[in-house]
Structure 1
Amino acid sequence: MLSQRLGIPQHKGTKSFLLILFIDALGTGLFAPFSLLYFHVIAALPLTEVGVALSIATIFTVPIVPLTGTLVDRFGARRLVIFAQLLQGIGFLGYLLVSNMPLLIIMAIFVNIGQRVFWSSYFSLATELAGIGERDRWFGLLGTSQTVGLGIGTALTGVLISALGTMGYYGVTAVNALSFFLAAGLLYFYVPVEQHKSSAHKETQRSYRLVLKDRPFLALIATNIAFALCLSLCGLGLPVYATDALHIPIWVAGVALALNMAVIAFLQTFLIRHLRSLRRTRTIIIAGLLLGLWCLLYILALPLPRVFVIPYIIVVTCVQGLAEAIHAPTSNALAAEASPEALRGRYLAAFQLSWAIAIILAPTMFTVLFSLQPALPWAIAAVLILIASLCTFFIEPHLPAEAIRTPKQIES
């Protein structure tokens, strides 16, 4: 069957979940690329104030991550994902009323809390919907659904704003908000409640103490910070690097990022299916080597003549997409399989802290290093990712066998 070849688990609600993620990502794709411009044009706020407000909102929501893990273990992931989508919908509706910095911070906190809760509970729900041995391809397929939604949303936004002007900004923001309410409703009615099991040991319900005692998993989180930083630098740094350092038109960055997204969308399930014979840790190391190569190739773009640098940067950016297509589903499957069932919510929320930390660090890291030397952000990222890849190799023997290997590998 086609669904089996694609990697869709044969459980009730999985196809609906794919549609829900597509709708969620479609709305996000509509708003996210023009979010700074929205507040600058519609709310008439200076870009510096917008950046500060969004950073403040992000920092305040970091403690939400471990709290979400506790709530997932207690109440189940599905309820938390629905709550997260409703909260984001309310926040984005509030964006329609923003006219000053304090109101922007308040609404952004709503949105960011929703995002933190979503990403800290989403992987637990996705894990519940897939059986053992299905999770690598399942996470890859989910990533593809989200990437396609983001890509279509991004493409539609440019058309709507160009055609409708100010009303286009309001339109994409309103549709984004409604997409979250629609996704929450579909999740409530069409995805069944997961078979949530309470821990038999009261100790596991009290705190993160067992997570903090799991040193191999903590090391896995630490290495993933480097991966997340490196992956975050592409969308964040490429537009600035292209225009200020390489002196090429901004449309080049747009084309490069679009093709990057296409690589992830169309190759992710294919790559994961053909890499299943490798240990998950080795697959992550391959992704790390590709990311290191991508960073070095970006540095080599600096001395190239302008006529060559445009096609060069477009092609090289696809190398990053290839690495992300390999890393994202594999790392999430590894974290899920390394998590004890009774504490999976806490474990996966702790793993998502690596992304929260990277999102906070990436803007400062890039801007400070870039101001010193345009090649420096990519050089530091390359060093960090190679160290993280080496650490992943040394962590491997200390992780559970069922985490680093698929069931077929264990049987053989």
Structure 2
Amino acid sequence: MRTFWAALPTPGRWLLSTVAIQTLGRGLTLPFTIIYLHEVRGFDLGVSGALMSVIAITGLVVTGPGGTLIDRYGARRVLLAGLVAMIAGCTLLAFATSPTVAAIALVLIGVNFGVSWPGFNALIATIVSGELRQQYFGVNFALVNLGIGVGGIIGGFFIDVHRPETFTAIFLIDAVSSLIPMALLLGPLRHVRTHADPSAEHETEAEGYRQILRRPAVLWLTLLTFLAVFIGYGQMEGGFPAFARQVSGVSTQVIGFAFAVNTAVIVLLQFAVLKLITGRRRTRVMQVMTLIWGFSWVLLGLTGLLPESLAAAIGVLLFMGVFAFGETMLQPTVPAICNDLASDRSRGRYNAINAAAFQGGAIAGPIAAGLLLGEGRQMWFIVAMVAGSVLICVLAIALERRLPVAANGLAAPAVAETGAA
């Protein structure tokens, strides 16, 4: 950690030092928003679920234009606009008493989500490069999980459905937490330029979305990201809790502890994993990840054989721990590959494509889980998750064949010099 911190440029230290504090506010509200809408504001559960999807859908719609704006005007300006939308959305949601007002608030929050992924990734990629970039994405992921995890724990102890003012407080705190990255962008990071100077001459031309997606490496990476999120993060708020409750028969307390285990494993193991994968092919790291994820889903499936038992509870906790170990391999590699493929003139668009794949998987994952589990096909759900893990491995192999060596985490081979005798 000392070596990594010493190698970081000053803007990188500023950005990384506040990540956990920034995401603390999001952790306060993320697990409890649907509870707030349904139990505190009294919206129908179906309406509350539909409102929750507004964030992801808005983010997906905004991501494409957001990437273009990042390349044209710079990530800093776009991120500032997104943070203003986030502050307005959280503040409005804190006092929303009708579905219409809540929907407007969630659209504003979705706007920020749509631009924050490509914006911050472009900012990070501008500040750090090479192997340090991969390490940065991994450390950033651990700190994000730390902030959200601690926020979730604090929120769980603080909120009370019989006291609406406690929910108002956490949404206002979430709004205030957005002032931290805003202050960084207006202060220490105000000179960081993520977009190329349009008046200057460039070795490469700016690429449009069609041109970028014609690159085989980008296409395979996009498919891999979508599927990884579909069977991974897309199941964390849908398929996993539903299976654990309906099939494994564990309590909500066990599910809550499982998410705590997930956060703890990521925070504790991310640095060790970064050390292990440094200098190795990123696509090979992904292949190892798929084996770990496949094994984790098998563990969860086995808990269904001993429902409502201590063994089932232990199995659910183990699932989340093993799954989190796989996450520590995914998060440093995919963003690093994406940004190593991108040029400075098109970095926003590259990150927007990757963000769209992530959001698409996050939307489709819970829908597929609901269809399978709702029809009573619990074991087919597990089979689908394991098969998806295998398919990710296949996609990683295909990606490796089309990926430049440098983008795959290895040093470019030296060209031998020849001279006349």
Q: 1:116 to 1:366 in 2, by over 3 A?
A: same
Q: 1:246 to 1:8 in 2, by over 3 A?
A: farther
Task: State the partner residue of 2:45.
Answer: 47
Task: State the partner residue of 1:247.
Answer: 249
Identity of aligned residues (%): 21
CA distance in 2, matches of 1:8, 1:80: 29
Report the AA paired with residue 232 of structure 2: L
- Secondary structure (helix, strand or coil) at the match of 1:193 reads coil
CA distance in 2, matches of 1:20, 1:78: 16
Residue 40 (structure 1) shift: 2.0
Report the AA paired with residue 252 of structure 1: V
CA distance in 2, matches of 1:202, 1:131: 19
Verify the 8 A CA contact 1:22 1:148 in the aligned structure 2: yes
Is 1:402 the equivalent of 2:406? yes
Report the AA paired with residue 307 of structure 1: L
- Secondary structure (helix, strand or coil) at the match of 2:231 reads helix
Task: State the partner residue of 1:378.
Answer: 382
Task: State the partner residue of 1:226.
Answer: 227
- Structure-2-length-normalised TM-score: 0.91
Size of the aligned set, in residue pairs, is 409
Task: State the partner residue of 1:34.
Answer: 32
Task: State the partner residue of 1:211.
Answer: 212
Q: 1:8 to 1:371 in 2, by over 3 A?
A: farther
**Where in structure 2 are there 5+ consecutive unaligned residues?**
416-421
Task: State the partner residue of 1:290.
Answer: 292
Task: State the partner residue of 1:267.
Answer: 269
Residue 91 (structure 1) shift: 0.4
Task: State the partner residue of 1:355.
Answer: 358
Deviations 1:84-125 (A, max 9, x none): 222111100010221111111111111001111111211111
CA distance in 1, matches of 2:207, 2:397: 32
* Worse overlay, 299-308 or 212-221: 299-308
Verify the 8 A CA contact 2:59 2:115 in the aligned structure 1: no
Verify the 8 A CA contact 2:86 2:109 in the aligned structure 1: yes
- Secondary structure (helix, strand or coil) at the match of 1:300 reads helix
- Structure-1-length-normalised TM-score: 0.93
Task: State the partner residue of 2:304.
Answer: 302
Residue 172 (structure 1) shift: 0.7
Q: 1:314 to 1:152 in 2, by over 3 A?
A: same
Q: 1:411 to 1:379 in 2, by over 3 A?
A: farther
* Worse overlay, 161-170 or 262-271: 161-170
CA distance in 1, matches of 2:88, 2:167: 17
Verify the 8 A CA contact 1:263 1:322 in the aligned structure 2: yes
> Which residue of the other structure, out of 150, 153, 158, is the alignment partner of 2:151?
153
**Where in structure 1 are there 5+ consecutive unaligned residues?**
none
Please provide the CA RMSD for this pair. 2.2
- 1:8-407 map, 5 Å: 9-162=7-160, 165-195=163-193, 196-198=195-197, 200=201, 204-205=205-206, 207-232=208-233, 233-304=235-306, 306-372=309-375, 373-407=377-411
CA distance in 2, matches of 1:9, 1:82: 27
Verify the 8 A CA contact 2:11 2:189 in the aligned structure 1: yes
Report the AA paired with residue 381 of structure 2: P
CA distance in 1, matches of 2:109, 2:224: 28
Residue 241 (structure 1) shift: 1.5
Q: 1:49 to 1:162 in 2, by over 3 A?
A: closer
